[in-house]
């Protein structure tokens, strides 16, 4: 995607500096655009944990690079193959613990380890781990592009019905290109429609407490010159009641085999409002976000709880101010579950499916 007319991906390998990966620091956006260098598996862990890189597909790719760093470190630290593999396994578990809710880190690390598990020569193994992480990144970008083309067909139909009036989309959190490698998931159909000149307007829910909607989605839409308005999370239901929303598009961090969707906290309330107002609610996600091993989202997905400070305070350093009553307990649930019954469809790179066990398994040949 373009930032100030220059093409960027969210994360990339720089072959000139060994071993190294660069990424956009998302904690500084939209006020400052800065890239930073990552040199070890521990630095990958911190970048994921502190959300310098965030969004399910992106933390998947970052974790795959984490395995590459772990392979490099294992070779430098240990002579014996067994010790090297113990080290890599330890780092795998450590990276997995950085953010437990999204399935993408596990998926991407398993894919990387699978690609190298039978290679005996460690230099060859390191090369293959890096190539695999880069391939996962390239595939994610392409999958998101296809999700855009697929979702575009739905937006085109709404546009036809509205006879040239802007298609009004509501979204939650950031499921744009910053959450992925390029294009985004929920944002990708919006970008595809904008590039065809289809008139659009996007309602952006701010997404308390970290405000990924107000900061990141709004930044992306601004860079693309797409008309948008930031609203509080609580205003989503109201704009829907007033007939100001044609479709809701969100991303996903983990989708179960029967189509329950785990996504950023607040998605469930947004889906309930859409359901009550008969507004189509679509989830956009690559197949790598589907966890075929589980069914019941509410019982089987570990929901990340982040630091209470994200809720209690606003601002940083000397400008930090308290927002909540001192002494009152706080809990910071980072994700919630939207049951399949509230979802009209899941838009993937393999097509659109109803959130239903049989339809999902048929589409993906499971
Ligand atoms: O906590 P974050 O910012 O990593 O959460 C991001 C989201 O919930 C996105 O909506 C999700 O990862 C889908 S992304 C394309």
CA distances (Å), origin 324, targets 314, 327, 335: 10, 9, 21
Residue 33 lies in a domain: yes
**Average pLDDT score over residue span 306-321:** 94
Q: Which range, of 154-168, 177-191, 194-208, 352-366, averages the lowest pLDDT?
A: 352-366
Q: What is the pLDDT of residues 20-61, one digit of tens each?
A: 999 999 999 999 999 999 999 999 999 999 999 999 999 999
Domain endpoint, select from 111, 139, 167: 139
User: 121: CA distance to ligand 1 center in Å?
Assistant: 37
Instruction: Compute the distance between CA of residue 16 and CA of residue 23 in angstroms, rounded to an integer.
Output: 15
Q: Is residue 34 a part of any domain in this protein?
A: yes
- Let me know whether 117 and 46 are in one domain: yes
On the question of pLDDT at 194 being above 80, the answer is: yes
Q: Structurally, how many domains does the chain consist of?
A: 2
Strand locations in the chain (E):
2-3, 6-7, 11-13, 21-24, 35-38, 167-172, 200-205, 228-231, 247-250, 254-256, 261-264, 281-284, 290-291, 313-314, 321-322, 335-338, 345-348, 351-353
Q: Does 167 lie in the same domain as 57?
A: no
- Same domain assignment for residues 131 and 162: no
Any atom of ligand 1 within 6 Å of the Cβ of 185: yes
Rounded to an integer, the average pLDDT of 285-303 is 96
The CATH number given to whatever domain includes residue 264 is 3.40.50.10470
What tens digit of pLDDT does each residue of 109-151 get? 999 999 999 999 999 999 999 999 999 999 999 999 999 999 9
- pLDDT tens across 4-13, in order? 889 999 999 9
Whether residues 222 and 296 share a domain: the answer is: yes
Q: Confirm whether 11 is domain-assigned.
A: yes
How much is the average pLDDT of 302-310? 97
- Asked which of 109, 139, 169 is the last residue of a domain, the reply is 139
In a domain, 93, yes or no: yes
For residues 238 and 306, state if they share a domain: yes
- Using the atom order of ligand 1, give the atom closest to the CA of residue 186: 15
**Residue of 26, 144, 173 to test ligand 1 pocket, by largest number of atoms within 8 Å of CB:** 173
The answer, yes or no, to whether any atom of ligand 1 lies below 6 A from the CB of 252, is yes
pLDDT digits (tens, 9 = 90+) for 316-331: 889 999 999 999 999 9
Q: What CATH number is given to the structural domain containing 25? A: 1.20.120.420
The protein residue whose alpha carbon is closest to atom 2 in ligand 1 is 55
Q: How confident is the model at residue 305 (pLDDT cuts 50, 70, 90)?
A: very high
Q: Give the pLDDT score at 366.
A: 59
pLDDT band at 337 (very low <50, low <70, confident <90, very high): very high
Measured CA to CA, the distance from residue 24 to residue 16 in angstroms comes to 18
253 classed as catalytic: yes
List, for residues 197-242, the tens digit of each pLDDT value: 999 999 999 999 999 999 999 999 999 999 999 999 999 999 999 9
* Residue 363 pLDDT level (bands cut at 50, 70, 90): confident
Active-site choice (182, 233, 246, 253): 253
Domain containing residue 76: 2-139
Residue 365 pLDDT > 80: no
**Ligand 1 binding pocket includes 173 (Cβ within 6 Å):** yes
Question: Is the C-beta atom of 54 inside 6 A of ligand 1?
Answer: yes
Q: Which of 115, 139, 163 is the last residue of a domain?
A: 139
Atom 8 of ligand 1: nearest residue by CA position: 264
Residues 318 and 205 in one domain: yes
CB of 56 within 6 A of ligand 1: the answer is yes
Kindly state whether residues 248 and 291 are assigned to the same domain: yes
Question: What band does 364 get if pLDDT is binned at 50, 70 and 90?
Answer: confident
């Amino acid at each position: 995607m373009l930032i100030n007319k220059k093409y960027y991906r969210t994360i990339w390998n720089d072959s000139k500096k060994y071993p190294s990966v660069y990424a956009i620091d998302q904690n500084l956006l939209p006020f400052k655009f800065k890239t930073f260098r990552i040199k070890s598996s521990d630095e990958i862990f911190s970048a994921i944990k502190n959300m310098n890189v965030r969004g399910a597909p992106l933390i998947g790719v970052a974790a795959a690079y984490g395995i590459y760093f772990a392979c490099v470190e294992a070779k430098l630290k240990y002579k014996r193959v067994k010790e090297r593999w113990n080290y890599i396994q330890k780092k795998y578990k450590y990276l997995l613990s950085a953010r437990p809710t999204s399935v993408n880190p596990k998926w991407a690390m398993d894919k990387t380890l699978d690609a190298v598990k039978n290679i005996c020569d460690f230099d060859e193994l390191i090369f293959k781990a890096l190539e695999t992480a880069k391939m996962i990144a390239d595939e994610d970008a392409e999958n998101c592009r296809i999700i855009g083309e697929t979702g575009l067909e739905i937006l085109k139909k709404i546009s036809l019905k509205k006879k040239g009036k802007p298609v009004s989309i509501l979204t939650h959190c950031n499921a744009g290109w910053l959450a992925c490698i390029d294009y985004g998931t929920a944002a990708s159909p919006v970008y595809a429609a904008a590039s065809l000149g289809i008139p659009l307007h996007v309602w952006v829910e701010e997404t308390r407490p970290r405000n990924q909607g107000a900061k990141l989605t709004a930044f992306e839409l601004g860079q693309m010159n797409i008309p948008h308005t930031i609203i509080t999370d609580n205003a989503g239901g109201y704009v829907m009641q007033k007939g100001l929303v044609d479709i809701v598009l969100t991303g996903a961090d983990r989708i179960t085999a029967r189509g329950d969707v785990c996504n950023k906290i607040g998605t469930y309330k947004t889906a309930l409002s859409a359901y009550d107002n008969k507004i189509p609610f679509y989830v956009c996600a690559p197949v790598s976000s589907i966890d075929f091993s589980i069914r019941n989202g509410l019982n089987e997905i570990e929901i990340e709880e982040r630091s209470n400070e994200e809720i209690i305070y606003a601002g940083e350093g000397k400008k930090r101010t308290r927002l909540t009553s001192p002494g009152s307990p706080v809990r910071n649930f980072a994700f919630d579950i939207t049951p399949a019954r509230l979802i009209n469809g899941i838009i993937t790179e393999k097509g659109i499916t109803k959130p239903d066990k049989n339809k999902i398994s048929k589409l993906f040949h499971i």
